[in-house]
């Protein structure tokens, strides 16, 4: 289980995909913990981060992410 601090979280994030058409996969590793947590897609990663932070990013599973990024 990842350690949870109310005001600070740190993870090593790895992203990869098997080929250009495959979905992105992810893993998070918390500092000081040996076992990374794997995610089959970015939605699963975001759901985990929502649970860790208590903030909801996606309104429902059908929501699309803004692909332009935070800078537009």
Q: Each residue of 9-64: pLDDT tens digit?
A: 899 999 999 999 999 999 999 888 778 999 999 999 999 999 988 999 877 656 56
- The larger pLDDT score, comparing residue 69 to residue 6, is at 6
Please state the pTM of the whole predicted model: 0.71
CA–CA distances in Å: residue 9 to residues 21, 23, 53: 31, 26, 9
C-alpha gyration radius of the chain = 13
């Amino acid at each position: 289980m990842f350690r949870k601090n109310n005001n600070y979280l740190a993870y090593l994030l790895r992203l990869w995909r098997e080929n250009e058409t495959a979905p992105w996969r992810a893993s998070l590793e918390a500092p000081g913990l040996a076992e990374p947590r794997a995610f089959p897609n970015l939605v699963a990663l975001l759901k985990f981060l929502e649970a860790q932070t208590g903030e909801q990013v996606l309104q429902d599973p059908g929501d699309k992410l803004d692909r332009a990024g935070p800078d537009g």
